[in-house]
Amino acid sequence: MPSTSHAQADQHILNVHASRAPENSILERFWSHESMGISPCEPDRKSVEYLKQYQETSIEYDNGRYHAKLPWKQDYPALPTNRNITL
């Protein structure tokens, strides 16, 4: 039997164009997704004035140590006592 071979040539062309984003943009995208809904807000003037006054009057440096009073909220109702519950 005569044998005939048919040469079959397959040709494939592959073109890949890839680009990689710089690390900074990758990090920026990550942090923007990580902190969704959280954005810095501008402090209001009343808060800035209160904190400045607090810093000037409530923080003391004495014998190498700082002493600071707690910054209580202004115009906030006092908590009721729970003495009756404990007795």
Per residue in 41-84, pLDDT (tens digit) is: 888 888 899 889 988 999 899 999 999 988 877 788 888 888 88
User: Which whole number is the average pLDDT over 24-51?
Assistant: 81
Phi, psi of 45 (to 5 degrees): -60, -40
Buried b / exposed e over 9-31, threshold 16 CB at 10 Å, is eeeeeeeeeeeeeeeeeeeeeee
| CA-closest candidate to residue 31, choices 40, 18, 41 | 40
**pLDDT at residue 2 in the model:** 57
Q: What's at 52, amino acid-wise?
A: K
